[in-house]
Amino acid sequence: MDPGMSAPAVAEAGEVFYRLAGNDVIDRQLNGQQLIVPSRDVLHIKLHTTRGYPRPLVGETSLAAAFGDIASYESIRDQQNQFFRNQARPSAVLTTDLNLDATQVSQLRDRWNDQAKGLSAGGTPILTHGLKVQPSSTTAAKDLQIAELLKLANENIALVFRIPLQVLGIGGASLGSTQALMQFWLASGLGFCLNHIEEAFDKLFGLSGVPDEYVEFDTSALLRSDQKDRIDALVRGVQGGVFSPNEARNQEGYDNVPYGDEPRVQQQVVPLSAAGAIPSAPGPAAPPSAPATRNYAKAVRRDVRL
C-alpha cells in the first residue's frame, strides 16, 4: 500500500474507496483537498491482513513483525553509543591502603594526568603515598555478547523480509556463485514480493490471467553478475536446440548474425522413432575358420587291428 494512502472506506452499497493524501505535489495541485478514489483505480499490494476490527482491508507489512527486533537493536546501539561517548571505562586505577582526603586525591589525580594524559602521554609518573597502578581489565566476554545480540537482531530482521544473509554480508552459508545466490533469493524471498505485485497489476488492469493475459517481471538482469555461468548456460542452450544463436546473442546485447535465427542440434541427436531406420554400421570381417584335423590316433589303432 502506498504510504500516502489512508485506510479504505466502505460505502453503503459495499463499494470500497480510498482516500489519497501525503504527496506534496498532488496536495498542492488539489489545494490541500483529499482525493477519493474507487478501489478499481488503486494499485493495492496487500501482503498479510489482520482480522481485527475495524481495518480488515488494510494490509500489515513485514516490518510489523520485526518491531521487537528493531527496538532491541536500537536500545543496544543507543546504550553502547552513550557508554563510549562518556568513556566510562578507565584504562587503569590508582589504589592505596592510606586514607586520603579529597584534596590529596585531587592533587594526585592532577599529577597523574599531567604526566600521562594529552600531549604528555607516555611520561613517567612518580607515585607517592603508597599508590599502585592497577590496570583495568576489559570485559571481552560482555563485548562479544553484545556483538552477538546485534548480529542476531540483524538476522531476524533479514529473515522477516526474506532476504538472504549473504546479500547483506552478515553471515549465512556460502553459495557456489553469485548467480546461485541471486537464484536462491528469487526462489525464497524476492519472488514472493514480485508475485504479489504481479497479481496486483493483473487485478488493477482486469487481466484474464495465465496463460492469456498476465504480468510477469523479467528478473534476468539480477542473474547477470556471474558472466562465466551465464555464458556456459547460453552455450548449452544453443547446442541443445533450446535457443537459436541470435536469441543467445540478444540476451547478451549483441546484434543478430546471418543464418542465426534457427535453433540447431548436433547430427547424432535423432528421435527414437527414427532410430530404427538408421542402418547399422558393418561389423568387422569374421576370421577364417581353422582347417579340420585328422584323428591320427584312431587311424593308427585301426591299422593295428587289421
pLDDT digits (tens, 9 = 90+) for 192-234: 888 888 888 888 888 888 888 889 888 877 776 667 778 888 8
Q: How far apart are CA 140 and CA 148, in angstroms?
A: 12
Give the distance, in angstroms, between the CA of residue 220 and the centroid of all CA atoms in the same chain: 16
Sign of CA dihedral 92, 98, 104, 107: negative
Q: How far apart are CA 20 and CA 121, in angstroms?
A: 63
Give the pLDDT mean for 88-111: 75
Residues paired with residue 109 on neighbouring β-strands, in sequence order = none
CA-closest candidate to residue 200, choices 87, 38, 39: 39
pLDDT tens digits along 234-247:
899 998 889 999 99
Q: Which amino acid is at 125?
A: P
Instruction: Say what the pLDDT of residue 253 is.
Output: 83
Percent of the residues in the chain that have a pLDDT greater than 70, as a whole number: 73
257 confidence band (pLDDT: 50, 70, 90): very high
Q: Are 131 and 89 in contact (CB under 8 A)?
A: no
Instruction: Say what the pLDDT of residue 58 is.
Output: 66
What phi and psi, each to the nearest 5 degrees, are found at residue 20?
-100, 135
Q: Which three cell numbers stand for residue 149?
A: 545480540
Percent of the residues in the chain that have a pLDDT greater than 90, as a whole number: 4
Instruction: Say what the pLDDT of residue 140 is.
Output: 58
Q: Where are the beta strands (DSSP E) in the chain?
A: 9-10, 16-20, 35-38, 48-49, 59-60, 92-95, 132-135
C-beta atoms surrounding 127 within 10 Å: 13
Q: Are 102 and 81 in contact (CB under 8 A)?
A: no
Instruction: Say what the pLDDT of residue 1 is.
Output: 40
pLDDT tens digits along 14-68:
788 888 777 778 778 877 777 888 888 888 777 766 655 556 666 667 777 777 7
